Amino acid sequence: MELLDGNLELKEIQKLQGHTDRVWSLAWNPATAAADVPKVFASCSGDKTVRIWEESPSTRSWDCKAVLEETHTRTVRSCAWSPSGRLLATASFDATTAIWENVGGDFECVSTLEGHENEVKSVSWNASGSLLATCGRDKTVWIWEVMPGNEFECIQVLQGHTQDVKMVEWHPTMDILFSCSYDNTVKVWWSDDADGDWSCVQTLGESSNGHSSTVWSLAFNAKGDKLVTCSDDLTMKIWEADIIRMQSGDGYAPWNHLCTLSGYHDRTIFSVHWSREGIIASGAADDAVRLFVESKDGSMNGSSYQLLLKKEKAHDMDVNSVQWCPGEKRLLASASDDGTIKIWELETLP
């Protein structure tokens, strides 16, 4: 990647204020990746609200277009758009997940998913938008089927984690579900056939080169054959699987540990996200944002990654979420305990 040859800067484009408590999570609307559609993302906060932000194509500045409130009664911890960008799911400490529909620019809560015993920590849609997953402090992962008329039916409750489940994430192309937890593991859930039961087919734990403390977040590369995880153990780990084999219907292929990125962080890493062109961003408790890329040093001993740049004091407090924009530009959004969201652009200096 030519990135390593260039002189790069992560330039702050705008600081967005409006939330009155920490901002936990961000999600770019996938429909806004098209060149002629304004960029939109959602943010959610300890202030019990979700905000919808949109870029003005003419001024390039970001404005809050909507505040989704008076639905959740506690912190909104996670938000995720359906693949079409029509629905937004929000997971809350009030034990519910709300589904919002954009109706002519107004967001209406069209469904409320109940069942978790307490705090819901994360929500994720599968690639086709036919399934939704949620997880929470009750140690469970729920899979919901999206039915006609904005109805959602729980088809299975997955048990296996021994602690609070921090995040769920579907594979970008296949119906394989990943969950990471306070129990220091990542679990992989898979169903052999369309109508079959889901089961845990792999646990990425300390005995398999996994993390030694809470796993906070995970993300896939664009192709979907690599996975990055981040942890309270101050490391990021890269995993790889033979997805060609899985896509050809040849059964499950396990994820194998490729390498560990250690020594770069001295505080908990809360968020990781992989850009389309292969840049991994991390957000951490030291208020910094770091970017990593695979190093092309031609070494025989497999894959290695290196620090591309570190943005010190990206925020005044913990960085809870980093998310690359799905469009063409190298835009990154970050959310923090300081109550703000920042939009950054990765620029090559002359």
**In-domain check, residue 126:** yes
Kindly give, in sequence order, each residue whose CB lies less than 8 Å from that of residue 216, ignoring residues fewer than 6 positions away. Answer: 166, 167, 180, 230, 231, 232, 268, 269, 270, 271
**In-domain check, residue 192:** yes
Is 90 exceeded by the pLDDT of residue 303?
no
Is 80 exceeded by the pLDDT of residue 214?
yes
Range of the domain at 258: 8-348
What does the pLDDT average to over 267-285? 97
Of the candidates 246, 239, 241, 191, the one whose C-alpha atom is nearest the C-alpha of residue 215 is 239
Residue 104: its pLDDT value, please? 84
**216-270, pLDDT tens digit by residue?**
999 999 999 999 999 999 999 999 999 999 988 888 999 999 999 999 999 999 9
**In-domain check, residue 2:** no
pLDDT level of residue 298 (50, 70, 90 thresholds): low
The three-class DSSP label of residue 167 is strand
Of the candidates 47, 35, 107, the one whose C-alpha atom is nearest the C-alpha of residue 77 is 47
Partner residues linked to 344 by β-bridges: 12, 332
| Confidence (pTM) | 0.95
**In-domain check, residue 92:** yes
DSSP string, 54-99: EE-TTT--EEEEEEE-SS-SS-EEEEEE-TTSSEEEEEETTSEEEE
Is 80 exceeded by the pLDDT of residue 299?
no
pLDDT level of residue 4 (50, 70, 90 thresholds): low
Partner residues linked to 349 by β-bridges: 7
**Burial class for 133, CB neighbours closer than 10 Å (0-12, 13-18, 19+):** buried
Is 90 exceeded by the pLDDT of residue 203?
yes
**In-domain check, residue 111:** yes
**In-domain check, residue 225:** yes
Residue 309: its pLDDT value, please? 95
**In-domain check, residue 34:** yes
Q: What single-letter DSSP state applies at residue 185?
A: -
Q: Contact at 8 Å (CB) between 10 and 283?
A: no
Please report, for the domain that includes residue 161, its CATH number.
Answer: 2.130.10.10
Q: Mean pLDDT in the chain?
A: 94
What does the pLDDT average to over 31-49? 90
What does the pLDDT average to over 67-84? 97
What does the pLDDT average to over 312-340? 95
Rounded to 5°, the CA angle 221-322-136 comes to 90
Least confident of 62-66, 213-217, 327-331: 327-331
**In-domain check, residue 61:** yes
Number of folded domains that form the chain: 1
